[in-house]
Amino acid sequence: MTTDITPRPATDNLHLVDFANAQPETLAEQVTNAIEQGQTFLQNLSDTPASSEQALQDIIDFDHLGRGLDRAWGILSHLNSVMSNDETRDAHHATLPKLSAYSTEVGQHKPLYARYKAVENDAEFFSSLSPARQRAITLAVQGFELAGIGLPTDEQAKFADIQSQLSTLSAKFADNVLDATTAYALPLTNEQLAGITDTGLAMLHQAGEQFKSQQVEQGKLTQAEVDALPTPYPVATLDIPVYLAIMTHAEDRELRQTLYTAYVTRASELSEQKNKDGKPLDNGDIMSQILALREQKAQLLGFTNFAELSLSKKMADNVDTVETFLLELADKATPFARADLKQLQDMATTLGMDTVQAWDTAYLAEKVKQNKFSLSQEDIRPYFPLPTVIDGLFAIVKKLFGITAVEIAEQDLSASVWQDDVRFYQLYDGDVADDNLLGGFYFDLYARTGKRGGAWMSGFQSRYTHASGDEQSHILPVCFMVGNFTPPNRTEAEDKPSLLTHNEVLTLFHEFGHGLHHLLTTVDIGDVAGVNGVEWDAVELPSQFLENWAWDSEGIALISGHVETGETLPQDKLDALLSAKNFQSGMQTLRQIEFALFDLRIHAKSPAPDYQGILATLDEVRNAIAIMDTPEFNRFANGCSHIFAGGYASGYYSYKWAELLSADAFGKFEEDGVFNADTGKAFRENILAVGGSLPAKVNFETFRGREATIDALLRHSGFVDADPVFDGNTGEVA
């Protein structure tokens, strides 16, 4: 059955998808058809263009043809991430090899490459193009070279095979992580619930109801047996909101250890979870295969290792530059991390615990917050109902950038959403009455079964203009912003909205920063519009930048309102929250550096390490960086989709690299006023609007008026003293 999912026009060239009819089989068919159309176009290209002008027109026409492929694949990939099931996964995975082969075919197509080179080599013609078009041409030429355009025919075939294998292996890696997470369920006794908050208990009870239904669906229990189980029936899972509720608050140390062990051994040889066919969900061999193939790919292209290949497209110059940056930051953070650890050790002693283990840190940290800062995430959660936070977020970005976000009810849309809790918004420049639509975005913010963990922004539809004869089509940007927040508590007894921890508030601001980067672009060339074309180690700049307003007292006044009284966060709780901003910052920074160094080193090794070598590298990094022993059974890497199934291979350092940029950028607002409209306009025009049409370094320095410095990052992280000492009276590092 083939269903029409042609983009449906809404107001002013905003195109939406009718997800009710976006069947996986249909999307896969559209991907295949788009690939065939692209291949036909390429086959009809002459070896050399007639002129530079004709070369550019061919490039534009081919780019236009590719928009259909990008759209169909973007929707299918999105559905596979947010509501994975057998039908969606099968369609997604069956399409991956075709897409990989086509991508390689395009990257190695010499007549198409000849057109880009013809434009680039015609200095007079090239200089007449817009900066965005010039940048798109330059990046495309680099892309051809990194896709093996210059390789001999036999090596091109080898390169294509490597690419196909990598796409399949990465998808399998992600499947194993999701399946291992979903497969875990641990029914709890009432004795194990001590300390867990009401919010946490509600999530455990919701998980229990899902568990009961799954037991019947999978034939493990009869309906009668399920009906005999108590109600409520608390069940622990590895979904992040549930996991954190237990790790942060459960007094049962053995329960915390059990859950921690299950989480950090996901998709490893130590995991007890199996797939539906009863086979182990073990990523060990997949990881070693991925690293070996990445190394082969890099060496085919003339690089020593994959890290060199990865960094050839980033802001950072080379591996040594990145490693030096990370080690210097680690050196600054270590004294503060030791003070952080002492806080936890002192609290452990107070509670009668002999040692601090990895499964104790979140629990002890919460106790320290309550004791030293009179602050508990649970105490402030009622002040951050999600609808209030969203309204405040929209008010903040209106003050900063002069934009207005408006929710559009599903019945008023030209298309449906993919899940009942999803919300759609339109973004306007100025007020709605100005009728200057910029784009649209979806919020899919709650954790649920079958949804990939974490939070992300997917810009599946970029801003784009295409002229054909006298006609011109204009498409506005649309994106998906996805989270895994605590769901609303909807029962017969009460109906409460999702109540966020402050960490979840920060996550929402982070993803919305990515969304603004995508939506506020003024570039009409899709390849460099929004986040497209932005160096990977700079792409986190807008997201981390926006988080600052969730720490600002004026910002918090806008995003807080007690779920029952509407009262904004009281001054004592605000003071405690701000005082605790850098709480455990040292240990958290070392943890990020540990991941980043591990990622960099496994990709810089030659030959690429096997699974045991991967684990050994992780141990080496931990021994050099960590100030607290990590359990030997910890298999962090086996569940790290960022590195093995995402875009962060040899790029995990980007979070800290971009954090330096974002802290320095926010420093300008600290100087001018955090809601200074002129400074907000400058950030919008020089960072958000230009997207990837200029190098990130140029964009940043245009906004800041100078090169970036590390000073603001150190200050924002609390790393301002050479020899920090913990002050037991104030609860601060003095």
Is-contact 572 315, C-beta < 8 A?
A: no
Instruction: Give the C-alpha separation, 455 to 444, whole Å.
Output: 10
Tell how far CA 156 is from the center of its chain: 32
Is-contact 530 521, C-beta < 8 A?
A: yes
Instruction: Give the C-alpha separation, 450 to 82, whole Å.
Output: 7
Using alpha carbons only, give the angle 558, 684, 385 rounded to the nearest 5 degrees: 25
Instruction: Give the C-alpha separation, 473 to 183, whole Å.
Output: 47
Which member of 504, 511, 540, 659 is catalytic?
A: 511
Instruction: Give the C-alpha separation, 78 to 442, whole Å.
Output: 12
**DSSP strand pairing (235-236 vs 403-408):** unpaired
Spell out the residues 6+ positions from residue 232 whose beta carbon is closer than 8 angstroms to its own. 201, 204, 205, 208
Instruction: Give the C-alpha separation, 401 to 675, whole Å.
Output: 9
Instruction: Give the C-alpha separation, 548 to 674, whole Å.
Output: 9
Instruction: Give the C-alpha separation, 436 to 406, whole Å.
Output: 13
Q: What are phi and psi of 730, to 5 degrees?
A: -100, -20
Please classify residue 123 by burial: count the beta carbons closer than 10 Å to its beta carbon, then call 0-12 exposed, 13-18 middle and 19+ buried: exposed
Q: Is 471 a catalytic residue?
A: no
Here the contacts of 297-302 (C-beta below 8 Å, separation 24 or greater) are 297/159, 297/162, 297/163, 297/166, 300/148, 300/151, 300/155, 300/158, 300/159, 300/162, 301/145, 301/146, 301/148, 301/151
H-helix or E-strand spanning residue 9: strand 8-9
Instruction: Give the C-alpha separation, 531 to 430, whole Å.
Output: 22
Amino acid at 169: L
Instruction: Give the C-alpha separation, 270 to 255, whole Å.
Output: 18
Instruction: Give the C-alpha separation, 569 to 587, whole Å.
Output: 27
Half-sphere exposure of 556 (CA within 13 A, CB side): 20
Amino acid at 165: Q
Of the candidates 536, 526, 481, which has an alpha carbon nearest to the alpha carbon of residue 70? 526
DSSP 420: T
The two three-digit tokens of residue 713, written as one number = 């990052």
Give the residue numbers marked as catalytic. 511
